[in-house]
Amino acid sequence: MRRKLTSGHAFVALGANLPFDTANTEDTLRRAIAAMIPLSQQLPILSGIYESEPKECPPGSPLYLNAVVGILPRAGEEPLSLLHKLQAIEQRFGRSRSGIFNESRTLDLDLLAFGDVVMDTVELTLPHPRAHERRFVLQPWLEITGNEWLLKGRPLGDWLLDCQDPPLSRLQEW
Per-residue pLDDT tens digits for 6-58: 778 999 999 988 877 767 888 889 999 999 999 999 999 999 999 988 877 76
pLDDT tens-digit series, residues 107-161 = 899 999 999 999 999 999 999 999 999 999 999 999 999 888 888 899 999 999 9
In a domain, residue 15? The reply is yes
CATH number at residue 120: 3.30.70.560
Please determine, for residue 1, whether its predicted confidence score (pLDDT) is greater than 60. no
- On whether the CB atoms of residues 8 and 116 are closer than 8 A, the answer is no
Total structural domains in the chain? Answer: 1
Please determine, for residue 97, whether its predicted confidence score (pLDDT) is greater than 60. yes
pLDDT of residue 33: 94
Q: What is the pTM of this model?
A: 0.91
Within 39-111, residue ranges assigned H as helices are 79-92
Query: What residues act catalytically?
Result: 95, 105, 108, 110
In a domain, residue 172? The reply is no
CA proximity to 9, closest of 111, 86, 113:
113
pLDDT of residue 103: 62
Residues 6+ apart with CB under 8 A from 84: none
Task: Give residue 40's domain range.
Answer: 10-167
Please determine, for residue 87, whether its predicted confidence score (pLDDT) is greater than 80. yes
Q: Across residues 70-78, what is the average pLDDT?
A: 95
- On whether the CB atoms of residues 104 and 15 are closer than 8 A, the answer is no
In a domain, residue 30? The reply is yes
In a domain, residue 122? The reply is yes
pLDDT of residue 100: 58
In a domain, residue 118? The reply is yes
CB-side exposure of 168: number of CA atoms within 13 Å? 25
Q: Across residues 61-70, what is the average pLDDT?
A: 90
**Position with higher pLDDT, 103 vs 45:** 45
